[in-house]
Structure 1
Amino acid sequence: MSMSDLADLPVEELTSSGGATSVERLESPELNVSPGELTHQKSLDQSEDQESVQTDTSAEPLPTASTEAIHFLTSILPEEIQKIFFRDSLVAISETGKEIGEFTFVVQPIMYHATPCLSIQASSHGSIDSIPCGTSISAYLTQNLETLEQQHHEYVKLKEQPLMKKTSMKRDDDSYVVTREVTSGQNLRTETFTYKLEEMQGFVSDASNLVLLRILALRNKVPDNISFVSLDTEMKLFPSTYVSAESGIRQSAE
């Protein structure tokens, strides 16, 4: 269950521990349960339907990040990064006082292949109409929020046909490789997407979005004309901006 799903439910109270800003309380993106809670289970039944697709994105016109957005990422200071190393926990409460979901998010410093980086762990899980669901993110970012690696898991435990999605992203020397597995009941579909590094300038992943929201809240200002690029649910690049609202700062698709 994503935080946007929680926001759409009839919520009476959101409680937080860890000193998070209203930005993260109300506008966190799609997250998942911890990787240990969401493991891909492949049936050995011979009737299982499997499909593998490799998508070439080079022929498609792709959106690009604005110069201001790229400058914003390169302007993030080490002192600012030091201020966002904390854990945040949120609980969603229904109008009847029942707990219907929870969200946790922690940023920690880590060495990734001998390079100082950020470790991101985030999860959101609960139930909607008594159906358990959730998401989780585990990622490594540079101090300028470039995504080096990300694992994104989602699940909806429907009785007759459980749905699970697993998306893996990794940066190599000249490209990003994104692999998505979708398991619906006994059916498994795997898709692989490849993006050149120059196409991913100003890219904001699910994990870097969370950190970016903390940086924007720390600066208490959204610069003009910052348009990044992100991946939608179909793993296609789309323009992504940030706007100020009464509830805080939120990500918005153009």
Structure 2
Amino acid sequence: MSSQVQSSDPRAKDQHASAAERSPLEASAEAIHFLNSLGKEELQMLFFSETLAMVSNTGEPQGELTIEVQSGKLKDKFDVVSHYPFVHASCRGFMDKTICGNSVRGYLSWNLRTIEQHSQEFIKFHILPMERKMSLLKEEDQLVMNRSIKEGEEVKTEVTFIPWDSTVGFISEAANLLLLRVMAWRQMVPNNARFLALDTEGKLCYSTYQALGSQTIQVDRQQAEVFIVEQTVHSDQGIPTSCQFYLLSDGHLAKRIQVGSPSYCLITKMPSLREEDEMEPHPVFKKKPLMWEEDMELYSKFLDRKEQLRLSHTRYLQQHPDAQALISDFLLFLLLRQPADVVTFAAEYFGPFAMHRPPSPALRSSDPRSPFRTLHTESS
């Protein structure tokens, strides 16, 4: 037997979108400001995996919880690959000798907006097994939510469209795990911050966080100080649900207690705490005046180079007697003319001998312009 509640046709889509737009639920300004303050470098410091043991209140092992945050690749509709934070958490164990578990996989933006998330929860009862699946996917200007509930042979499905603008301040399950690490890293919870979340029925509701202070607990025969944060999801259709998170200074989860649950999660091995790298200031070297004449080594190199150039020039003149004759003619011509500008006179004299000189026009002026003279625009 199967029943479905579909909203795939345009009219149903508009109805869901209109209902979401009429919703008065909005995240507080403090919550939005906190999310906008997140940075890529800060979140990358919180990329690591961790494993906690699930135990009952009497100390009996019941399962295992694994949380992993890393950099993930995601393609858009144009096949452009982008890097986003990827969160994968899974939990599997026993509850009253019944196998149960849940998992969540999600891609987030760098300010923790949900781009894509898939979650699953199951309880394998002997008579009526139960399984819940939910997916969130950003499409254009909306967030599409698909939910399915399977109890025995009966399956119920539902599709909801939420305008993207209405999801500002929304914290999904995947985003919540990374948000808690940020709070532990900063050792603070934003005051009066009211976020948005989904309750167990897939309805938007408020979610708040409260700092319960610090406490010292024993982890793997070591004393560790933890920062305690309590999250409360305020469902409109039921009683609020609260969960307490005991977090180490670098974001590792040391303990998780769901209020009213007969079990909790506990870390069994003390991890190596991550610390922010302290960037040492670059050394500043003051520029000192170079007194090379007083430096014996530099002055010796100067004399050697000077003598080397003198010998090179002398050798060139010996191997090219025409150059010697050219220089003699120039000196004689210089003494006869005695120009006021010797540099320009030399440029005009040696110009025709240049190897890369452009070809001269057929009819040359009796007063050719020098390349060293300033060109003035002749008045008409």
> What is the TM-score normalised by the length of structure 2?
0.52
Corresponding position of 1:105: 67
More strand by percentage: 1
Given that 1:62 and 1:237 are in contact with CA atoms closer than 8 Å, whether structure 2 keeps it comes out as no
Question: How far apart in 1 are the matches of 2:147 and 2:210?
Answer: 29
Q: CA deviation at 1:135?
A: 0.6
How many equivalent pairs are there?
Answer: 207
Cα-to-partner distance string for 1:171-200 (whole Å, 9 max, x where unaligned): 111100001010000100001111001111
Q: CA deviation at 1:130?
A: 0.5
Cα-to-partner distance string for 1:103-126 (whole Å, 9 max, x where unaligned): 000000122222220111101121
Corresponding position of 2:308: none
Paired AA for residue 112 in structure 2? L
Corresponding position of 2:46: 84
Q: CA deviation at 1:49?
A: 2.4
Q: CA deviation at 1:80?
A: 1.3
Question: How far apart in 1 are the matches of 2:64 and 2:109?
Answer: 27
Q: Among 140, 143, 147, which residue is 1:180 paired with?
A: 147
Distance 1:184 1:198, change over 3 A: same
Per mean C-alpha deviation after superposition, the further-off stretch among 100-109 and 60-69 is: 60-69
Distance 1:147 1:166, change over 3 A: same
Distance 1:131 1:149, change over 3 A: same
For 1:176-215, list aligned pairs within 5 A. 176-215=143-182
Q: CA deviation at 1:92?
A: 2.1
Corresponding position of 1:66: 28
Q: CA deviation at 1:96?
A: 5.5
Q: Among 121, 126, 150, which residue is 2:117 paired with?
A: 150
Per mean C-alpha deviation after superposition, the further-off stretch among 170-179 and 230-239 is: 230-239
Paired AA for residue 41 in structure 2? E
What secondary structure is seen at the aligned counterpart in 1 of 2:4?
strand
- 2:87 matches 1:120: yes
Question: How far apart in 1 are the matches of 2:138 and 2:183?
Answer: 25
Distance 1:193 1:131, change over 3 A: same
Corresponding position of 1:17: none
Question: How far apart in 2 are the matches of 1:61 and 1:138?
Answer: 27
Given that 2:199 and 2:233 are in contact with CA atoms closer than 8 Å, whether structure 1 keeps it comes out as no
More helix by percentage: 2
Corresponding position of 2:193: 226
Cα-to-partner distance string for 1:51-100 (whole Å, 9 max, x where unaligned): 23337252352310011111111111222112111101000233655311
Cα-to-partner distance string for 1:180-222 (whole Å, 9 max, x where unaligned): 0100001000011110011111110000000000000000001
For 1:24-39, list aligned pairs within 5 A. none
What secondary structure is seen at the aligned counterpart in 1 of 2:132?
strand
Across the aligned residues of Structure 1 and Structure 2, the Cα RMSD in angstroms comes to: 1.6
What secondary structure is seen at the aligned counterpart in 2 of 1:62?
coil
Cα-to-partner distance string for 1:33-61 (whole Å, 9 max, x where unaligned): xxxxxxxxxxxxxxx22323337252352
RCO higher in 1 or 2 (8 Å CA, sep ≥ 6)?
1
Q: Among 133, 152, 163, which residue is 2:100 paired with?
A: 133
Corresponding position of 2:228: 248
Paired AA for residue 78 in structure 1? K
Corresponding position of 1:51: 4
What secondary structure is seen at the aligned counterpart in 1 of 2:122?
strand
> What is the TM-score normalised by the length of structure 1?
0.77
Q: Which runs of 5+ in 2 are unaligned?
A: 76-80, 214-226, 235-380
Given that 1:146 and 1:203 are in contact with CA atoms closer than 8 Å, whether structure 2 keeps it comes out as yes
Question: How far apart in 2 are the matches of 1:51 and 1:111?
Answer: 33
Question: How far apart in 1 are the matches of 2:83 and 2:201?
Answer: 31
Paired AA for residue 89 in structure 1? T
Given that 1:177 and 1:194 are in contact with CA atoms closer than 8 Å, whether structure 2 keeps it comes out as yes
Distance 1:94 1:115, change over 3 A: same
Larger Rg: 2
What secondary structure is seen at the aligned counterpart in 2 of 1:208?
helix
Q: CA deviation at 1:143?
A: 1.3
Given that 2:89 and 2:104 are in contact with CA atoms closer than 8 Å, whether structure 1 keeps it comes out as yes
